[in-house]
Amino acid sequence: MSYGTLKTYEEVALKFEIQLQEQIFMQQKVISISEEMLNLIQNNLQLRRNYVSESAICETMISPILNLVANANDLPVWSHMRFDVDEKDGLVGIPDFLIAPASPIGTIFTQPVICVAEAKKENFNEGWAQALSEMIAAQRFNQDEKLEIFGIVTTGSIWQFASLRNKVLKMDVISYSALENLPKLFNCLNWLFSEAKA
């Protein structure tokens, strides 16, 4: 699935007049994940068959990691749901994942706070085009450019993070490896979810 009509990060940033700030901003907040679950995810990350398709990556790696952190923070993961905000500006499509509170009726989300895009074929530039488009759409959907929206682009094994407030995109210069340090990735995600929920 994909989101937005623009295909590169540069096209999105230019169209919406986004300013980039590169820095280290991610922090860690310890989360308790069972040894059994850590081993299961670590094994999934090492199996070549889990990288054969976009669906396999989403289902066997990205989704389980996100859902463990989401459950700990009571902040639901919405998978592959249409998110059409502004057709004129190309802010339409189906995000890989949105993190947002549920509405009172439970089957739709309210205020998206984290946008997650898979870096398909390990193309992080296109991944950030999609994630940034989703983040801008979330600002408009929430009707609040001052609300900080977080973005994640991942291959399942490599994770990159950014945040958007007003027109400033703050991108963490570090790429985090689930293969090298899965507990650290979980702690970073736990911090991000808690910040987004605040």
CATH no. for residue 42?
3.90.1570
User: In the prediction, which pLDDT does 64 show?
Assistant: 95
Q: How far apart are CA 37 and CA 34, in angstroms?
A: 5
Residue 42 lies in a domain: yes
Residue 1 lies in a domain: no
Instruction: For the chain, give the longest Cα–Cα distance.
Output: 48
Residue 65 lies in a domain: yes
Residue 167 lies in a domain: no
Domain with 185 in it: 9-16+27-161+178-197
Residue 173 lies in a domain: no
3-class secondary structure, 196: helix
pLDDT digits (tens, 9 = 90+) for 67-102: 999 999 999 999 999 999 999 999 999 999 999 988
Residue 169 lies in a domain: no
User: In the prediction, which pLDDT does 15 show?
Assistant: 97
Q: How far apart are CA 100 and CA 76, in angstroms?
A: 6
User: In the prediction, which pLDDT does 1 show?
Assistant: 57
Residue 83 lies in a domain: yes
Q: Please, where are the H alpha helices in the chain? A: 9-15, 35-46, 54-57, 63-73, 124-142, 182-197
Domain count, the chain: 1
pLDDT digits (tens, 9 = 90+) for 140-165: 999 988 889 999 999 999 999 999 99
Residue 3 lies in a domain: no
